[in-house]
Chain A
């Protein structure tokens, strides 16, 4: 089968570790640290105070502004402390919370009272003949965000400007990131909910065509999804190639359309949603349950018992690892990663909580990860061949090392999707993705400064 998009790499699969184990629901924890900024956009606005009693699913913080999402309590209990952000210079409570990006983020600490009493769920919407607006309002109300890793508020994604003619909804079941099997297990066990969720989303978007893209290293998932979907959706199976699951590459694979450079997928008439988000939409619209749980893969060679778990938002990493029976004695841990090995973020403390977009907790042994010394670029061209966005990583990396960001800008560094293929393929072990993230933040800062002038 020919490659579905230019470039791409084949990292070691590593899915066998956790592909076999069903999704297990995590027991109730004693304490949850729920961050306020779990999505792209403005952090949520607090509406509870320390000492308040809350029920499971109760709103702790509302969305402030259009691009934002509310936060719901993962369990019933009392709010024991609220840490304000230190960046605004206010007082910071002792148990502040280190976010996945390593910076201190505001968080609410909830001590569960053990009863796990849920507040009464929202009324079921008969989505067949409800209009789009009620569905989208319900999605915004229940705080649903993209579960693939971006955590972009779904309600915003489902209400594009009217003049954009969207005709296809694409479900991202590719899960091209090695080691992660959350979506795979979800497709095997909740196929019906996914398809129903897709129908609801299609209704909200006013779209008929639904395509579900799955990589063919998950044949069982492809089989089940095709059976369950029937004629309601088209299931397409793609050859395994990272980053098949990236938005632009998936749209090109499914519809042979290319998203115009520097634009959003809606320019190509498509909206891409993760299969996990579909289940969340189904739960919200049909059962009225807000989003405070997600499927996360806990895997890696040091983990005693890798598996897929339904975790509540706010479970800290140390509790997550105790679920997986901790680490093997003889395998020292080199890295702890939130997300997959290609795009995940390395952590250095176990107090980081699981957020709405945590698709996996990956532990790598010390022999699998070394401290590399990066050598100068020998222009071998491997990164140019593998870049799925058709960029020139070699030229850009040399420009950014010399801090020539204007040069890097017109070598199109802003189109980099940080998929990591170039760093993966680079024989000089150069930290290319970090260089491009640095360049992009510098160029954005420069653009903000120019727009203010």
Chain B
């Protein structure tokens, strides 16, 4: 019944070290419930069968209405059982939520329908949490808009990401692998699409840092990935792709063009100019546009900026 690492009938596979404790408690309560259920339902069915009213005026054979011993037992026995479960439950809860010292720390920010993961060295991934195996990982949860809830069934952890303050959760993945993340606090239209993946890498693979450079999802070219980011990250709100002038200049035919800059001599649009405008937009502002663009430093890593630039190149 208890699910080993491959997951049983009731519970998903145990991905983290603490999952075993939770499953043990789950099984104890489960078998206790089965026992009491069979006891009570059995009694009901047995009594109904045994004392079925045969003739219309058949009266009850016993009118006993009180038995102190029985009533006492079925008050105190459940009470003791329940206190045991409470104590065990609270201990498991503490193991599950209090992170050990020196855990690897990741800042998780939920926003309407996607999860962002910020690592201590500044790398930011959306939708993918890369963690080392066999090392405790502490998650620092917060939200940008409404309450979301970070739930990883395989690690048996769940914690609401409350806007306006931090909440924490921790786990230590047992082995490399992939685990599904859900959002379990209702947060609007695409609440059911707010999924993410926890990618557990071996120690060496994690330290090598190859995962830091975010790579386009499988089967997608760099330019297409740039287009996808164009929609997701917010460029679409101010820069059009069909030449129409919005808050910012249109991307259509932008690459290689000469742009007149306010207060400076005109500049040819190349990779450096685009990278600089993304990282520090106020540096060079094109004539006739408001200085309204926010900086994306810390939100987009180099691989993503290259992808966006590739995408802009394709817009002739």
Q: Is the pairing of A and B real?
A: no
What is A's interface to B at a CB cutoff of 8 Å?
Answer: none
User: Which B residues are closer than 8 A to A by beta carbons?
Assistant: none
